[in-house]
A = this chain, B = another copy of it.
Amino acid sequence: MAKLMKRYHPPGTPPGTLARRERHKLAAPRMALVNYDESHFDEIEDATPAQVAQFRERGGTTWVHVGGHPDVEQLRELGTLLGLHALALEDVLNSGQRPKTERFDGQIFVIASLPAVAGGSIVTEQVSLFLLENAVVSFHEVASDVFEPVRKRVREGVSWLRGRKADALLYALLDLVVDHGFPVLEALGEQIEEVETGILRAADRQSLNTLHRLKRGLLTLRRMLWPQREVLNSLLVEGEGLITDSTKLYLRDCYDHTIQIMDLIEAYRDMTASMLDIYLSSVSNRLNETMRVLTVIATVFIPPTFLASVYGMNFDRGAGPWNMPELGWAQGYLALWAVMLITMIGMLFFFKRKKWF
């Protein structure tokens, strides 16, 4: 449950306060620094704020990436150095924020949601991005180096980013974050398919629990990815001056991807809802079948049992000729068996024809 909550300050804390409530053990932060233009590429794997200032003076595009939960002190230093807005830094620190785009004076701040599969269940990790004049600052609350593919292509000089500005780098990072949704959904889709096969074979309790887990995962995804559409839309609208028209074309493509992901999520939700229906209907069908068969068995034995009880009565045959004369017939017992068997078979036949079992 706790993961539904964003981290929050106690009500009444002044805005822009950079204090962390240490509820969870956090990964140590690591700052990777890159500076490139068409002709050069420099990189420091574990940089200090001082190095950031040096790199930025060189011209070209500077990219600062902080992986893991940033240190409050370091964050404040970085904020002062690059002029990052205090409210934005507060959101970087208190992860679990809803995706949003904010335009401060001379900078764009983007919070995006990176879907991932951790320990069998779906989680979303916060990625925070600042677009400055000629720099991008990115934060990822998890230490894993999710942006390495981009850095590698830039390092090897094969990337189209080398010839472009910082806004193209922002796009490249956002695109990577958004596209992470596809493999996560593919994995989810395979699990849904498995559960479906399971339910059609045998509607057991296990499948129901898996189904509920998948539904909750889809809900989480939808809640965190839905505002991502708005993030990209806002970038297109509010990017004036920081985002070039050619980059906007690419962002529009990225926007289409967010819509496709929402479409997929909706389709999966429809499918899980429909599977729940199938599950419930087959559970109820199975019960009905069982009860019907059992009741038919019971019912078939009732009239013969009645007859047997009748001929177990002790009426005094000597008291008169009408007192149970059947008991004295030579073929009485056989005749009774015949009657009983015919009754039972007749009932079975009748019930079968009525499709009662």
The answer to whether B305 and A356 have CB atoms under 8 Å apart is no
Interface pair B1/A190, CB less than 8 Å apart:
yes
Q: Which residue of B lies closest to A161 (CB)?
A: B14
> What residue in chain B is nearest A268 (Cβ atoms)?
B4
Q: Mark interface residues in A1-35 (1 if CB within 8 Å of B CB, else 0).
A: 11011101111111100000000000000000000
A332 B319 Cβ-Cβ under 8 A: yes
A: contact size bracket? 35 or more
- A242 CB-CB contact with B under 8 Å: no
Task: Tell me which residues across on chain B come within 8 A of A215, comparing CB atoms.
Answer: 274
Q: Is A281 an interface residue (CB 8 A)?
A: yes
Contacts of A175 in B (CB 8 A): 11, 15
Asked whether B159 lies within 8 Å of A14 as measured between CB atoms, the reply is: yes
The minimal Cβ–Cβ distance linking A324 to chain B, given in whole angstroms, is 5
Residue A288 interfacial (CB < 8 Å): yes
Query: Which B residues touch A223, using CB under 8 A?
Result: 263, 266-267
Complex partner residue of A290 from B2, B183, B185, B292, CB under 8 angstroms: B292
Chain B residues positioned under 8 Å from A219 (CB to CB): 267, 270
- Determine the chain B residues whose CB is within 8 A of the CB of A308 once the complex forms: 306, 309-310, 312-313
A41: chain B residues within 8 A (beta carbon) = none
Nearest CB in chain B: distance from A237 CB, A? 15
The smallest C-beta distance from A180 to any residue of chain B, in angstroms, reads: 5
A112 to chain B, nearest CB (A): 13
Q: Quote the shortest CB–CB distance from A177 to chain B (angstroms).
A: 8
Q: A236 in the interface, Cβ–Cβ < 8 Å?
A: no
Contact between chains at B274 and A12 (CB < 8 Å): no
A349 at the interface (CB under 8 A from B): no
* Contact of B313 with A311 in the complex, beta carbons under 8 Å: yes
User: Are A212 and B313 neighbours in the complex by a CB distance under 8 Å?
Assistant: no
A186 within 8 A of B: yes
Give the CA-CA distance A315 to B330 in the complex, in Å.
9
**Contact pattern, A 327-351, Cβ under 8 Å of B = 1, otherwise 0:** 1111111101000000000000000
Contacts of A4 in B (CB 8 A): 189, 264, 267-268
Q: Is A12 in contact with B149, judged by CB distance below 8 angstroms?
A: yes
Rounded to whole Å, the gap between the CB of A18 and the closest CB of chain B is 13
Q: Is the CB of A294 within 8 A of B305?
A: no
Judge whether A352 is part of the interface by a CB distance below 8 angstroms: no
Residues of B within 8 A of A263 (CB): 98, 223
Known: A1-B189, A249-B87, A354-B290. A319 touches B328 (CB 8 A): yes
Q: List 29 A-B contacts (CB under 8 A).
A: A1-B189, A1-B190, A1-B192, A4-B189, A4-B268, A5-B182, A5-B264, A8-B182, A9-B179, A11-B149, A11-B183, A13-B179, A14-B153, A15-B171, A87-B250, A212-B274, A219-B267, A223-B267, A290-B295, A290-B356, A294-B295, A295-B295, A308-B310, A309-B309, A312-B313, A313-B333, A315-B336, A320-B330, A324-B333
Given A14-B160, A292-B294, A322-B331; 11 other pairs, CB 8 A cutoff: A5-B264, A8-B179, A12-B179, A15-B160, A98-B256, A98-B263, A283-B288, A301-B302, A305-B305, A315-B327, A319-B330
Q: Which 4 A-B pairs have the closest CB atoms?
A: A320-B330, A12-B149, A308-B309, A11-B179
